[in-house]
Structure 1
């Protein structure tokens, strides 16, 4: 079973978490001015990276807090996890 380190609760089973998609996607500041195509791109188009990728996760069966993770999509290995809003460097938790 895959294990994920919650920044607040520590190492837990994957079944306690919910995947939230790609991390660090900025919402357009003036969404009313976007064309339908541009809005659709914001909502649905993702990088689908092969290799190291930043993701959002929710500790749904634990503290119910969101956090970011860097994960290798080829090996499924979590490289680090960190709170949303943190820089992602230096304030991380080790590999799982």
Structure 2
């Protein structure tokens, strides 16, 4: 089972958390001026990275706080955990064939 280190509560089992999707998605500046196609892209088109990926998680069965995780999607290894609003940490890129 995946262990996620909550920055507020410490390491916990994955079952205590809920996945919140890709991190660092900027909301549109002028949403009223966007076309339906642009809205569709904003809402549904996300990267599907093989390797290092930055995600949002919430500790749903704990402190209920949101935070970001840098995780390797191939190995499931958690590379870094950081607070919402912080700059993403530098993590080494990994190459998979």
TM-score, normalising length: structure 2: 0.90
Q: Does 1:17 align with 2:20?
A: no
Runs of 4+ in structure 1 off by over 4 angstroms are none
SS at the partner of 1:82?
strand
What residue ranges of structure 1 are gaps of 5+ in the alignment? Answer: 91-96
CA RMSD for the aligned pairs?
Answer: 1.0
> Counterparts of 1:7 and 1:82 in 2: how far apart (Å)?
7
SS in 2 for 1:4: strand
Aligned length, in residue pairs: 90
Tell me the CA shift for residue 87 of structure 1: 1.2
Write out aligned runs for 1:75-94 (5 A): 75-89=75-89
Q: How does 1:1-96 map to 2 (within 5 A)?
A: 1-89=1-89
Gapped runs of 5+ residues in structure 2?
A: 91-97
